[in-house]
Chains A and B, each alone.
Chain A
Amino acid sequence: MTVEIINEVNKNQLLDSLKRSLEEEPKKIIEAKKSGKKVIGYFCPYVPEELIIAAGMFPVRLVTSGKPGPVPLAEDSSKINNYPSVISCAGEKKTNSDFYNSTFDAICVTSAHCDIRKIQEYRGGHSNLPVFPLGLPRTHNRFRTRPQATEYFENELSLLSRRLGEFCGKKIGYRDILKAMALCNKIREKMRFFYEYPLKERSPIEWREVLQITQAGFLINRFDFLKELEKIEVILKQKRAEDIPFDSRARLMIVGSAIATDDDAFLDIISQAGGNVVTDCTCTGSILLRKRVPAFGIMENPIDSLVERYLYNFPCPYIKDLPNRLDRMLKIARNYRVHGLIYYNSKLCDTWRADFKNIENTFYQELLIPTLFIETDYSLSDVETLKRRVEDFIDIIGGRL
């Protein structure tokens, strides 16, 4: 469980309060549901949770999986050779073994990733849960040579907003969206600040701890989460750089598929092998945090801000703008002075798999950064092999340095 993981790495009591908040969250959700509040589940980070919050509902991002156990249980609804995170969630839903996977009242679906989309459709169709789809264009680019994508996405967001409003019995107004955007932006600003700590070799917080904060943020009520972030920020600001030992471990960047909350086996292997992950390009990590889009100011219609934030942010491999993706990754790797790249590919995640060769070559040609490709599921059958490969990779990087 998420709480247990946080416990394991909670060396400095930095995350104590967050842990408590996470423990209390299920009770709070049950209470809120009794009073008529609704929970919307979603997988993809391109679902604008601002709209869910604006409708007065709880957004829950369904990445609370990563255990091998529930996978076979989902076989009746899904083939075993589907995207592991999705079938793990489906298995958990079936057994009610995870609170968040069994609590949502409706699902919000983007068109990104075949497996995610289809399993969500299945869930909706099978359990009569309302499913709110959102069309996400994939051929647009940063030069905006396809302006039709902007107009299309704007309309899709308005439709989603209307449907969510109808579902919760409330008309979502611009003010509601603006308020939700302001809240989400504050959270993102704090998270960005945390993710930037590992830029330095003397960091009071490790990337992995920040990832765990992020993952907790997928589940906790966003107002409570912001308060928790403020507490963490206070603790971090009190720490003086000179009191923190210099971290000389190999600096690594993780690129690839979503990292589920219990998908910690390979992160453990990296730590045990002496690697220090300092940054990432994963959709459960920091990739969508980097773009700042104001809630108030130039934009009159908040939907325009949402378009700007989601459509023209870091393009995940579903969006076919590879040059933009590569440029941004290189910039991050350069800023964080990365020594090696771990390319993490969940088995059957075709979208990330197809980019691998390009990314590997570009990182080596541009920055002389070597890449280690890891393709795994949650079966844990390959732990020993992975361990050897990661150790060898870190040895090589260490030797090169």
Chain B
Amino acid sequence: VKLSEWPGFNELRFDTDLKAFDSLMSLFFNSAERTRASGKKVVAKGPLSPVEPIYAIGALAYDPYTHEPIVHGAVNQKLKLTEKAIDAGLSSNSNPWTLIMVGAIVSGKNAVPVDAYSTTCRYGNDQLLDSWQIMARTTKAPLHFWEIPRFDTESEKWAIKYLVKELKQLFEWLTFQTGCKITDQKLIQSIKHSNLLKHDLMEITRMLQIAKVPISALEYYFLQAMISDYSQDPEKLHELYRTLIWELKERESKLLAAPGLVREKPLRLFFVGDEIQELKLWNSIEDYGGVLVGCDAHLSLYYEPIKEDGSAIENLARWIWRMPCNMPTDEMVKAIIPFIKQQKPDAIIISSVVGSRYTPEFESFTREIIKDELGLPVLSLETVLPLNNIGVIDCKIRDFIKTNTY
């Protein structure tokens, strides 16, 4: 089935010239069959929870927060699943992504079967932890939280020590759940695989820096989203990323921009904040003369590679502790500013999802820091469930691009 033939995707414009992207989307959508066929245990993890420990033990990581809402919300438009989540104990004021995810899992309609739940307790994801608790309780699956201590340069010494011990206990728990034992060698291997994927995404992101951006916003969004759980197949994902990079390099060498771009010199937009289910937004950016040059939704997972020499567990702990999403808001925004700068944007879009406890409550602060540091115009977008916002978003994007182009 072609991508555009899916019910929720028929209004979207995909870049059909990119052959590797079709394969990447197949990898995304056929997770269920592959995980069943592999016979491996599936561990559900939060969107910015690192996957290296899960792959090191030989299990498969699964990010239901990204996957389930895309499958049930954006594609199949089964928005009634949110009611199931409320019945299960989640507040109706929660983030719609979380509501759809929990609704799908507690009603047994999840796209990928889950054997166990484990995610990080990190700075600012209380709602997500609550939803993990509810999903594990309702499906009677084992649950394990592991903690990333708060980021503070003065507490680095004991924070890393703490994180190493938390990781060791996570490994013990994973061993108990899967029956496989972790070794240093396996962890190093897992780090190496994940570094390959990080490099791939860095390379794709680098290509957004050039004047003729070779990849469209919607495609880039999906590519980024897939780094969250490696689509349960890191090797295959790396292979497809490489093919895609090759296709994009072809375009780059021919000075070709992605086909959706309507303007010769589009307004370069960087996207900051919450992930968004309203996929039409990505097309709208291009329809009105903009181009996406970066997105920080999953940046924390590939902000830099993990060191490969020395103690694997300490390197992993150090990398996790320095993930931008783990920092207090002002430091987090300051940490992502160099990434934003190198993408050379003309303007910034801050996304907040109503009910999310991540960006919305702090959007004004984020906006102030970005304005101070970059001096760029900022557009704030607020969304709820898919298809409920597109009219307003469309107008806002059109006006914003128009205002900042002339």
Chain A residues engaging chain B, CB cutoff 8 angstroms: 76-79, 81-82, 111, 113-115, 117-119, 121-122, 125-126, 133, 135, 137-139, 146, 148-149, 151-152, 155-156, 159, 318, 320, 322, 347-348, 350-351, 353-354, 356-358, 375
B91 interfacial by beta-carbon distance below 8 Å: yes
Q: Chain A's interface: helix, strand, loop or mixed, by majority?
A: helix
Contact B126–A113 (Cβ < 8 Å): yes
Residues of B within 8 A of A358 (CB): 89, 137
Give 1 or 0 for each of B116-147: 1 = CB within 8 Å of chain A CB: 00000101111101110110010000000111
B361 interfacial by beta-carbon distance below 8 Å: yes
Contact A148–B154 (Cβ < 8 Å): no
| Interface contact tally, CB-CB below 8 A | 127
User: What's the nearest-Cβ distance from chain A to residue B141, in Å?
Assistant: 15
CA of A375 to CA of B94, assembled, Å: 14
B103 interfacial by beta-carbon distance below 8 Å: no
Residues of B within 8 A of A353 (CB): 89-91, 130
B81-105 residues with Cβ-Cβ distance < 8 A to A are 88-91, 93-94
* Chain A residue at minimal CB-CB distance from B130: A354
Q: List 19 A-B contacts (CB under 8 A).
A: A78-B362, A82-B361, A111-B123, A114-B124, A114-B127, A117-B328, A118-B124, A118-B361, A122-B365, A135-B149, A135-B152, A135-B155, A137-B162, A139-B121, A139-B146, A146-B169, A320-B121, A348-B91, A354-B130
Contact B357–A350 (Cβ < 8 Å): yes
Contact A354–B90 (Cβ < 8 Å): yes
Q: Output the residue of A152, A356, A375 with the most chain B CB within 10 A.
A: A152
Since A115-B357, A318-B126 are in contact, a sample of 6 more A-B pairs with Cβ atoms closer than 8 Å, ordered by chain A residue number, is A114-B358, A121-B330, A126-B365, A139-B121, A146-B166, A357-B137
Contact A139–B365 (Cβ < 8 Å): no
Contact of A79 among B159, B169, B361 (CB under 8 A): B361
CA of A138 to CA of B123, assembled, Å: 11
CA of A33 to CA of B275, assembled, Å: 46
Residues of B within 8 A of A148 (CB): 161-162, 165-166
Contact A138–B121 (Cβ < 8 Å): yes
Residues of A within 8 A of B176 (CB): none
Residues of A within 8 A of B362 (CB): 78, 118, 121-122
User: What's the nearest-Cβ distance from chain B to residue A321, in Å?
Assistant: 10
CA of A321 to CA of B257, assembled, Å: 53
Residues of A within 8 A of B244 (CB): none
Contact of A151 among B91, B127, B158 (CB under 8 A): B158
Assuming A121-B328, A138-B121, A138-B147, is B361 touching A114 (CB within 8 A)?
A: yes
Contact A350–B130 (Cβ < 8 Å): yes
Residues of B within 8 A of A138 (CB): 121, 145, 147
Contact B93–A81 (Cβ < 8 Å): yes
B355 interfacial by beta-carbon distance below 8 Å: yes
Q: Output the residue of A82, A122, A347 with the most chain B CB within 10 A.
A: A122
CA of A114 to CA of B354, assembled, Å: 15
* Chain A residue at minimal CB-CB distance from B88: A357
B363 interfacial by beta-carbon distance below 8 Å: yes
CA of A111 to CA of B355, assembled, Å: 20
B228 interfacial by beta-carbon distance below 8 Å: no
Assuming A139-B147, A152-B159, is B166 touching A115 (CB within 8 A)?
A: no
Contact B89–A356 (Cβ < 8 Å): yes
Residues of A within 8 A of B91 (CB): 348, 350, 353, 375
CA of A117 to CA of B201, assembled, Å: 32
CA of A121 to CA of B357, assembled, Å: 14
Residues of B within 8 A of A351 (CB): 126, 130
B13-39 residues with Cβ-Cβ distance < 8 A to A are none
CA of A339 to CA of B361, assembled, Å: 38
Residues of A within 8 A of B125 (CB): 114
B329 interfacial by beta-carbon distance below 8 Å: yes
* Chain B residue at minimal CB-CB distance from A350: B127
Contact of A114 among B146, B152, B355, B357 (CB under 8 A): B357
Contact B93–A348 (Cβ < 8 Å): yes
CA of A82 to CA of B124, assembled, Å: 13
